[in-house]
Amino acid sequence: MLEARMLTAGDLRARILRATDVSDEHDGGDHVLNPGWAPGAQTLPAGRDAAVLVPVVDRPAGASVLLTTRSTRLRHHSGQIAFPGGRIDPTDASPEAAALREAAEEVGLPAAQVEILGRLEAYRSSTGYRIVPVLSVVTPPIALRLNPDEVDDAFEVPLGFLMDAANHRLESRVWQGAERHFYTMPFGERYIWGVTAGILRSLYERYYA
């Protein structure tokens, strides 16, 4: 297992309380590392608003982040590592409500065990989604029930590992005829990259850099 400094959920709460509110004026996202791709709100297709839960599990030995491996049955982004989450439905009262609903549907995470701490800046993906990351603390013990249509696996990574810039790699590949840059955070056999790594990098830059 890779070495990681111990960070606690209580420390994250304190950092969030000391910080200023997140502004809705400027979104983060893939365009930050790829200036040639510049999303505009006017080009965002209907139904592309989404929310993900960033679940920090309050473990006595150090906080960890709950992540999932998307089902190989899915048409889009199958097999990739992701946060629980999805599109914001018209019936969802807020991004927080959507993130909690999706977490319950995907991995059976009870809302009663989730403490909402706030939001990170919205993340715009190159596929046209505007994703609101909802920060939360999960109180164990948790007994997950995975939905096999959506999730193949759920696992935890130490928060201390993810919030260490030494574990963040900037990589690139050619996509749609152009070189695209993105963060990765390999953890053992797990390859965390793309939007998930981008959101984790945003968490690091806002509260741990």
DSSP characters for 40-93? -GGGPPTT-EEEEEEEEE--TT--EEEEEEE-TTSSSSTT-EE-SEEEPPTT-S
Phi-psi region of 66 (alpha: psi -120 to 50; beta: other; left: phi over 0): beta
Alpha carbon of residue 95 to chain centroid: 13
pLDDT level of residue 5 (50, 70, 90 thresholds): confident
pLDDT of res. 76: 58
- Among residues 17, 120, 49, 89, the alpha carbon closest in space to that of 97 is found at 89
Least confident segment among 27-41, 42-56, 69-83 = 27-41
Task: Give the separation between CA 162 and CA 156, rounded to whole angstroms.
Answer: 11
pLDDT of res. 70: 82
Pick the more confident residue, 36 or 192: 192
- Is the pTM value of this prediction over 0.85? yes
Percent with pLDDT over 70 in the chain? 84
pLDDT of res. 46: 47
- Sequence-distant (6+) residues with CB within 8 A of 33 are 170, 181, 182, 183
pLDDT of res. 129: 85
For residue 152, the surrounding DSSP H or E stretch is: strand 151-158
- Is the pLDDT at 151 greater than 50? The verdict is yes
pLDDT of res. 3: 58
Q: State how beta strands 114-119 and 64-70 pair.
A: unpaired
